[in-house]
Amino acid sequence: MLPVGLVFRSVGYRGVPLPGVPFNESWAVILNERGRVLDPDTKQPLVGEYTAGWIKRGPTGVIGTNKPDAAETVQYMLEDALAGRTLTPAEPSPDAAERLVRERQPHSVSYADWLQIDKIEVAAGRARGRPRVKLTRVDEMLAAAGRSV
């Protein structure tokens, strides 16, 4: 028995491949160089594909480690954009992007949805003397956003 004020349970992490995305099985990361996803045969960057966080470098560091890691990836995304190394979607508009996301992931939430969820979580927290009470189930979050499962 140890008298402690806080206990963290860590069950480990191992990245898993995504269909069509180059993956290094040995390291359990997406094959990349500085966040640019690489073609497994040529080792050249794949246009428009990037990665960050543990799936980029493996399960190392803490939450704060991800910020400079993501900044590195964004630096290379911007470099690629300035050099014209970008994807050219058939319909490059925010509405088209939202339609595609909703098609592929109907239970995704928009920023407006998140604002509504945030408002409800903060109000529930205030009633209990806390900063917020997190909704932890997708159906609860969607209901808070005025959407159904």
User: What is the rounded CA–CA span in Å between residue 47 and residue 36?
Assistant: 8
Cα 143–chain centre separation: 22
Domains observed in the chain: 1-88 (3.40.50.720), 94-144 (no CATH)
Query: pLDDT digits over 51-88, tens only?
Result: 999 999 988 887 788 899 899 999 999 999 999 999 99
Query: pLDDT digits over 87-144, tens only?
Result: 999 999 999 999 999 999 988 888 999 999 999 999 999 999 999 999 999 999 999 9
What are the residue ranges of helices labelled H in the chain?
Answer: 54-57, 66-82, 94-104, 111-127, 138-144
Kindly report the average pLDDT of the chain as a whole number.
Answer: 92
To the question of pTM greater than 0.85 for the whole model, the response is no
Per the listing, tokens 């939450």 go with 63
